[in-house]
Amino acid sequence: MAISLGGCMFYVPPEELGGLFSDRNAMILNDEGEQEGMAWLSPVKASKKQDLTALIQDRLFVVSCRDLHALLSGKREGITVREYHADRAG
């Protein structure tokens, strides 16, 4: 899975994706294969995990699980990644 942010590409390797669904974090890599951050499934204002949260270069990004499942099942080729800001979350 590739994430395009501000003209830079970041990747969650295929071997890491399975870990997301077993309560493990996944590594996010840059073009050179170096770790740039972590991704995990997390709830937002709910007990059920409904968002993929990614910490990349000290910035938080969020993708809904609905969009994530559509991407992984092949129903969509791209999804919107939003930067999370605590002051705007309310």
Query: What was the pLDDT predicted at 84?
Result: 87
Would you say the pTM of this structure is higher than 0.85? no
DSSP characters over 17-71: HHHHTTT--EEEE-TTS-EEEEEEEE-SSSSS--EEEEEETTEEEEEEHHHHHHH
Q: At 16, which helix (H) or strand (E)?
A: helix 14-20
pLDDT digits (tens, 9 = 90+) for 5-47: 888 999 999 999 888 888 789 999 999 999 999 999 988 777 8
* Dist CA 12 CA 33 (whole Å): 10
Q: If we measure between CA atoms, which residue out of 84, 89, 86 comes closest to residue 37?
A: 84
